[in-house]
Chain A
Amino acid sequence: MNHRSVTHATYTIERSYPARPERVFRAFSDPARKRRWYAEGERKVIGEFTMDFRVGGRDRLVFATPQGFECISESIYQDIRPDSRIVFAYTMAVNGQCISSSQGTFEFLPAPDGTTLLFTEQAAFFEGSDGPEMRKAGWTELLSELDNALD
Chain B
Amino acid sequence: MPRPSVSIDRVFHALGDPTRRAIVERLSRGEVSVSKLHAPLNITLAAVVQHLQVLERSGLIHTTKVGRVRTCRIEPKGLTVVERWINDRRALWEKRLDRLGDLLLEDDDQV
Listed in ascending order, the chain A residues whose CB lies under 8 Å from chain B are: 1, 3, 5, 7-9, 11, 13, 15, 17-19, 22-24, 26-27, 33, 36-38, 40-41, 100, 102, 117, 119, 121, 123, 125, 127-132, 134-135, 138, 141-142, 145
Contacts and interface: CB of A to CB of B under 8 A. Distances in A.
Interface stretch (B4-12, B16-24, B28-36, B63-71): B4-12
Contact of A121 (B3, B9, B93, B95): B93
Contact of B104 (A19, A134, A142): A19
Contacts of A125: 85, 89
Contact of B89 (A123, A127, A132): A123
Contact of A130 (B88, B94, B102): B88
Contacts of A119: 93, 97
Given A1-B1, A37-B96, 6 more contacts: A5-B4, A7-B85, A23-B107, A24-B100, A27-B107, A130-B88
A135 B81 CA distance: 12
A149 to B, nearest CB: 9
* Size bin of chain B's contact surface: 20 to 34
Interface of B: 1-4, 7-9, 81, 84-86, 88-91, 93-97, 99-105, 107-108, 111
19 contacts: A1-B1, A3-B3, A7-B8, A13-B93, A15-B97, A15-B101, A18-B104, A18-B105, A19-B108, A22-B111, A23-B107, A26-B111, A27-B103, A37-B102, A117-B100, A130-B81, A131-B2, A132-B2, A141-B91
